[in-house]
Amino acid sequence: MSELPRTIVEAGQWLRSGKITATELTEAMLARCHAAQDRLGAFNVITDEAAMAAARAADAEFARGIDRGPLLGIPLGIKDLLATSDAPTTANSRLLDPSWGQREDATVVRKLRDAGAVLMGKTVLHEFAIGWPDPATGFPIARNPWDPTRTPGGSSSGTGTAVCAGLVLGGLGSDTGGSIRGPASYCGISGLKPTFGRVSKEGAVPLGYSLDTVGPLARTARDCAIIFDVIAGYDPADPCTVNVPVPSMTAGLDGTLAGVRIGIPRDYFFTAPELDAEVKAAVLAAVETMRGAGATVVEIDLPYSESAAAAQRVTISVEAYAYHERNLREQPELYGMHTRLRLMQGMLFTAADFVQAQRVRSVVRDAWTAAMRAVDVLIVPSSTAVAPTFESYDGAKVDTSPTFTGVWNLVGFPALSAHCGFSKAGLPIGMQIVGAPFTEPMLLRVGDAYQRITDWHTRVPEANPATEVTA
């Protein structure tokens, strides 16, 4: 079967109309996964037997007239730092305690299974969700389907690759400084970093305790909303979750931008010297498209942006080092080279540095919360440039370049990356739609409305053998 649905919404229509069964869909997508693995390296493990069992169970429920919801029978991927009962959890590292692979599902994984999703396997990531891939560790390295010489972004690289290449219809990533939005931007798909505390992190290998979030990646904002509807909510097993009502994420997707107030923070986000001109032009063009569809666009000031970026880097470095300190002292050679270097940066900061960063964090959060009262969302680039090649990686440059993603982790705001154009070289460009805490329905509404009047999200890589597999 060479023709397959490209979105969760489309797959749901096919499943409920009888055009395809969950078993047929899963068989075909498993064939794609295996066919693409050598070229794209999206998975650490593909769970064929468990996926087929879930697909058969979904078909049996459809046959009995039971419909658990829009994820029933839908193939998804799980970032390999989320515990699953049917596969090892490695965090792409030789160092992770094996107990992570000898336990029940993480809360978000359990919720997906309860919704009837078909989990296809564990997707590749940057080791411990930080650093850069090191071939010496022996783990697969995910590659960008638009150009396999380039990164798909990190650290949720495998989920981004798998969604982009049509190996799954959606999946989970984690985001501490941009690890969902980076792959979404570089791969030309959608990815949502939730408000801190909106989604349970129980069963997720930590990186930055006060920054980590778990969220969806999928081709469209609407598909992200479908996944998010299932995984969001308070979890007593995770003290970071917030016990507040979770509204429907799909109910407000009415396709309209009329009356939506969009804020453009020019300083830092559009004036950084490192910002590529093509990226800037594509994001601003997207803003004009939304203005033409009825949105109101205003300039807005977000003070302390550079200080926010610095505070986020201090925070993630110190919190990551705190988690890894013992292993870094006792067996540093087992880390990949780039991960080890990034983690050891945490040793260079003092307790005073960390405290000062938290003071900055409070000031920035208060100022930005006040600024957000004038608008519904902000629009900023997802990254300064398109996906770089693996060969061009420069760790020192990464550490000193502006971050348009990590600042939102610092203040805990939600942010959705959506595809908004291509570079002249044919590489995807992403924009972020950012909101105040717990405004995910608005972010998804704006993303969905933009995707109804554009077609960037419908474009897929042509030179991809995975899409030619028949089953």
Catalytic: which of 93, 111, 122, 155? Answer: 155
CA dihedral 128, 240, 75, 165 (to 10 degrees): -50
Helices (H) and strands (E) in the chain, counts: 14, 11
Catalytic: which of 156, 179, 200, 383? Answer: 179
Q: Is 79 a catalytic residue?
A: yes
Secondary structure element (H or E) that encloses residue 78, with its range: strand 75-79
Q: Is 179 a catalytic residue?
A: yes
Q: How many CB atoms lie within 10 A of CB 231?
A: 23
Sign of CA dihedral 411, 280, 192, 262: positive
- Give me the sheet containing 296-299, strands edge to edge: 43-46, 118-123, 75-79, 170-175, 213-218, 190-193, 415-422, 428-434, 377-381, 261-264, 296-299
Return d(Cα 12, Cα 315) in angstroms, integer.
Answer: 41
SS3 416: strand
Per the structure block, which two tokens stand in for 451?
């995707």
Contact 106, 202 (CB under 8 A): yes
What 8-state DSSP symbol labels residue 371?
H
Catalytic: which of 79, 111, 122, 201? Answer: 79
Residue with tokens 């994984």: 109
Q: Is 99 a catalytic residue?
A: no
Q: Which residues are catalytic?
A: 79, 155, 179
